[in-house]
Structure 1
Amino acid sequence: MTFPVHRSDEATPAARGEAFGRAMATQVQHTVAVYERMFAERGVTPPGTLPPHEEIDAIARGAQVDPAFLRAVNARTEILNGADECSVQGAGGLLAQNWDWHPDLSASTVIWIVETPSTWFATVTEAGILAKIGLNDAGLGVCLNILRTTADGGTDGTPIHILLREVLTSTKTVDDAIALLTNARVTASSAITVATPGDVAHVELSPGGANVIRGAVGAHTNHFIEPPKAGTDVMALESPTTHQRLEIVKSEPLLDALRSHAGHPRGVCRHVDPQDPWVDRTVTVASVVMNLEKRRLHVAAGPPCSHEHVEIKLPTPSSSDRLASTAAR
């Protein structure tokens, strides 16, 4: 069992977005409903001034939801101002992440595979959000950890989830991705891990500027590895397990780390704490393992201690060649 898979080969972002919205209308509408409740319980008002976005607005048309609100959902990291979620490990040509977020959003999670005549990418994301964890045809993998500093705030930068989509669609190497990310202006802190076979980097983004950390082995959780360039690292003090989880993903074999319950229920393999209020509940919604050299994507639809990683069929060179031949006719 895995999440729904949607495959896109439309020629324009508008056509692609509208087709996705129609096909995944139930999931997109669920995403909107959960975030409406979450924003309300957090006491935040989504800004109505986020600029139009061709593909997001097209998804909204297809799913028959408010495009302004769906833009706000794509800026959920900026609006909600961070959360204690996610553990990432990368080494030996593999890149993996346990994505921890609200359990209700499991019903919104989809795998979106976009193929053009010359390229493709796949992302595990919430329906209506352009990208999250992903892999492209160059063997470039992308993962995300939310960070938080006292300098964070506002929505006038580029939303982190839109940046993730730009990395997947427009970069082929770790250096390309670093250049794109370090030139972006952001208002919310995040660690974006980018990797290709033999190369991995963490780009710790914050309003004060970016830290770039490179090495043969990558591991990240929810605190800054290098101090932020402005403000104070909030999660280094407030997250109950971020330091413990980092040591686990740095030192244990990949699958053992992903299934670790040290710090339960807020371990690397996270489970709902029934004592938490609804708005604060988190669980490992998905566990993702990417083989960068072989361009393989494996996804577990829940905590990996009890959910199997299932391989997702990705485009092959022959299918890209077929699309290119069709486009040339």
Structure 2
Amino acid sequence: MNPIKLNLTGSPREIGIQHGRALYEQIRSQISIYESMFQYTSKISWSDVRDIAKEFKSPLQSLVPHIYSEMEGIAEGAELDIFDIVALNCRSEIALGRFSDGCTALSWKKSNNARVLSQNWDWTATVKNNLAMVSIEQIGKPTIYMVTEAGIVGKIGFNSAGVGTCLNAIRAKPMISSKLPIHVALRLCLESTSVGSAVKTLESLGGVASAQHILVSDSTQSLGLELSPVGNKYLTEDASGLIAHSNHFIENHYVEEPPWLSGSPIRLDRIRYLAHELIANGVSGDTITPGLLRERIFSDTYNAPQAICCKEDESRHISTRSSSLFNIVMNLNSEAPSAEVVFGRVGSGEEGPVLKMPWV
């Protein structure tokens, strides 16, 4: 797979128009995929999805007018209705956990001034051709480098200030549409200059609309944000400098979270075990490399198909099958933050080449 690489710059509207034009076909494909997923998992049409998306218009315009302007630009560039784009960016909230995202994330302290942030992103393979590597250059803000789905303004990646984000989906109620959609919250983190400023921004804007976990790091600290519209819990690094997360809350008990992915606790225990095994073998500092993490952690198939390296469960409907679509390992320091991305299931023999962010 040779993913599209986009360099976006200018005003929010200009950034959106560039995005919409460049990913014209991929955005339409995403809408078709999510239309099928909503129909299968929730029995609602795309027209109904767009109607629900309208609930987010006023909060987005009020809380994050620059991001809403970017969404309008995406719609203009892709020649779509604005609520098609709002719906894509609120798909986690509208689905309210009925989609079966996976994902296993890990933050690891290299030193007092460097962190490694990494994850496998698990999702339906139908979207893999609609992923893009995107850089966004905005006046007065750090430059963003992320892997995202076509039409979505914020996802997994890092910025030139050394702030990075990973995402773990959570299935829990309630959803409150007057708050920030999780993909917008990710974008705000990626516009921040530190973990502290990211948390302050999310709190000052009233928090998020649905239960999710964002693992956010900079060079000096990592924090696991177990977010919900009715209360948050923040996870700090353990004695070994680690934070690991999968798809259930560890400390946030404010929400109603039924068990939904039986493999999630197993993956969490497994990634902790593998990381501590590496520590026991003397891995630390600059020996915590992307290649080592891919080989020793993110290619792990224990408890397959619900493994860290997730494989499609063919007994499930195609709309709810997940597999690891990419792995990202970010080296976060204040001087020259960077990342390596591999599309596909690492260690499977079918993964793509190692790609660098930033790219030339």
TM-score, normalized by length of structure 2? 0.81
- Matched letter for residue 30 of structure 2: T
> How much has 1:314 moved relative to structure 2?
1.5
Residue 128 in 1 paired to residue 160 in 2? no
- Aligned in 2, Cα 1:142/1:271: closer, same or farther, shift over 3 Å? same
- Matched letter for residue 56 of structure 1: M
> How much has 1:15 moved relative to structure 2?
0.8
Provide the residue aligned with 2:168 in structure 1: 145
Residue 79 in 1 paired to residue 97 in 2? no
SS in 1 for 2:134: strand
SS in 2 for 1:252: helix
Q: Which runs of 5 or more structure 1 residues have no equivalent in the other structure?
A: 317-329
Distance in 2, Cα, partners of 1:269 & 1:182? 33
Provide the residue aligned with 2:256 in structure 1: 232
Cα contact 2:232–2:252 (8 A) shared by 1: no
Matches of residues 1-329 of structure 1 in structure 2 within 5 Å?
A: 1-10=1-10, 12-42=11-41, 43-44=43-44, 45-46=48-49, 47-49=52-54, 50-51=56-57, 53-82=68-97, 83-91=100-108, 92=110, 93-116=115-138, 119-149=142-172, 151-169=173-191, 171-183=192-204, 184-215=206-237, 216-229=241-254, 231-234=255-258, 237-253=259-275, 254-255=293-294, 256-293=296-333, 294-306=336-348, 307-308=351-352, 310-314=354-358
SS in 2 for 1:300: strand
The list of structure 1 runs, each at least 4 consecutive aligned residues, that deviate by more than 4 angstroms after superposition, is none
Distance in 1, Cα, partners of 2:228 & 2:193? 23
> How much has 1:108 moved relative to structure 2?
0.9
Cα contact 1:79–1:154 (8 A) shared by 2: no
- Aligned in 2, Cα 1:141/1:48: closer, same or farther, shift over 3 Å? closer
Cα contact 1:296–1:311 (8 A) shared by 2: no
Cα contact 1:2–1:310 (8 A) shared by 2: no
Superposed CA RMSD in Å reads 1.8
Distance in 1, Cα, partners of 2:357 & 2:123? 25
Cα contact 1:140–1:168 (8 A) shared by 2: yes
Q: Residues 10-66 of structure 1: CA distance to partner in whole angstroms, max 9, x if unpaired? A: 2x1101110111111111111111111112222133115231621112111111222
Distance in 2, Cα, partners of 1:57 & 1:314? 27
> How much has 1:189 moved relative to structure 2?
0.3
Cα contact 1:192–1:204 (8 A) shared by 2: yes
Cα contact 1:182–1:209 (8 A) shared by 2: no
- Aligned in 2, Cα 1:315/1:102: closer, same or farther, shift over 3 Å? closer
- Aligned in 2, Cα 1:309/1:180: closer, same or farther, shift over 3 Å? farther
- Matched letter for residue 115 of structure 1: E
Cα contact 1:182–1:210 (8 A) shared by 2: no
Distance in 1, Cα, partners of 2:250 & 2:185? 21
SS in 1 for 2:312: coil
Cα contact 1:21–1:63 (8 A) shared by 2: yes
Q: Which runs of 5 or more structure 2 residues have no equivalent in the other structure?
A: 62-67, 276-292
The sequence identity of aligned pairs, in percent, is 28
Distance in 1, Cα, partners of 2:252 & 2:150? 33
Cα contact 1:189–1:207 (8 A) shared by 2: yes
- Aligned in 2, Cα 1:74/1:117: closer, same or farther, shift over 3 Å? closer
TM-score, normalized by length of structure 1? 0.89
Distance in 2, Cα, partners of 1:300 & 1:160? 24
Stretch of structure 1 that moved more, 294-303 or 178-187: 178-187
Provide the residue aligned with 1:322 in structure 2: none
